[in-house]
Amino acid sequence: MPHPHVLLVTGASRGIGAATARLAASQGWAVAVNYVGNSLAADEVVRHIRAGGGRAIAIQGNVALEADVLRMFRQIDAKLGPLTGLVNNAGVVDVACRVDNLSVERLHRQWSVNVLGSMVCAREAVRRMSTRHGGEGGSIVNVSSVAATLGAPGQYVDYAACKGAIDTFTVGLAREVADEGIRVNAVRPGIIDTDIHASGGQPDRAQRLAPSVPMQRPGTAEEVAQAIVWLLSPAASYTTGAILDVSGGR
């Protein structure tokens, strides 16, 4: 039976995505938990949601591949019903690297996942949500980064540039579909204590950089999830095109 509130969270097997999936489910969303490789972690998020009485499914797919995105959305249509929420959370970082040492392969990976993936997922969501296409409306939240405003010099300027693109995309899409029942917003996390830092070769990065944060600590995935789920909710009904920093003041 179709669920009235259907949410796709990309990259939801860990970190901010997993926290968002769990919190959204506790507030009545049926959640599609997307993952690219770690099926055990995605299944654990689904088990947690179902144990609490919620509804969730795990869906494998690489957002950088259009065929995977199309398959994911078809599965959601068939198993949960019409999509009403999307969180574009899937993202990758890489090891610290100056621009003069960047490889084209690294740049392609960064842009394919962090930018193109979010845009193609948003395209498919709009096709389902927009009143222009016969939909009932919905909400999209893009996960950006404070790196978009800081530039991440000496670390990953390429990643920061990707997130700058996401900020611009958020504002443009929000204005494009504002009268079609769709709200589009973004959150910009700062230093958040998740394992994405380890994937960039710096597992201790969140704690090491804590003194540079005005609040003197890293944030948690759950704190970012609270902002995302609020933006998805009817409580944010007059909010679109907003970019909300969740950064401890950084």
Half-sphere exposure of 208 (CA within 13 A, CB side): 6
In the predicted model, is pLDDT for residue 196 greater than 70?
no
Residues 175, 203 contacting (CB under 8 angstroms): no
Answer CATH for 6-246 from 3.40.50.720, 1.10.10.520, 3.30.450.80, 3.90.1520.10: 3.40.50.720
70-74, 191-195, 201-205, range with the lowest pLDDT: 201-205
Q: What is the pLDDT of residue 107?
A: 98
> In angstroms, rounded to a whole number, what is the distance separating the alpha carbons of residues 156 and 105?
14
Q: How many CB atoms lie within 10 A of CB 71?
A: 14
Q: What is the pLDDT of residue 197?
A: 53
State pLDDT tens for residues 122-173.
999 999 999 999 999 999 999 999 999 999 999 999 999 999 999 999 999 9
Catalytic center residues: 159
Residues 148, 163 contacting (CB under 8 angstroms): yes
> In angstroms, rounded to a whole number, what is the distance separating the alpha carbons of residues 238 and 183?
8
Q: What is the pLDDT of residue 199?
A: 59
Can you name the residues that pair with 33 across neighbouring β-strands? 9, 58
Amino acid found at 70: L
Q: What is the pLDDT of residue 207?
A: 78
* The 85-88 sheet, strands edge to edge: 56-60, 30-35, 6-9, 85-88, 138-143, 182-189, 243-246
Give the pTM.
0.95
Half-sphere exposure of 99 (CA within 13 A, CB side): 8
Q: What is the pLDDT of residue 201?
A: 64
H-helix or E-strand containing 141? strand 138-143
Domain ranges of the chain: 6-246
State pLDDT tens for residues 12-35.
999 999 999 999 999 999 999 999
Q: Which two tokens stand for residue 95?
A: 């090891």
Q: Which two tokens stand for residue 147?
A: 């790196």
* Size (the chain), residues: 250
Amino acid found at 16: I
State pLDDT tens for residues 73-117.
999 999 999 999 999 999 999 999 999 999 999 999 999 999 999
DSSP letters, 36-96, are SS-HHHHHHHHHHHHHTT--EEEEE--TTSHHHHHHHHHHHHHHT-S--EEEE------S-
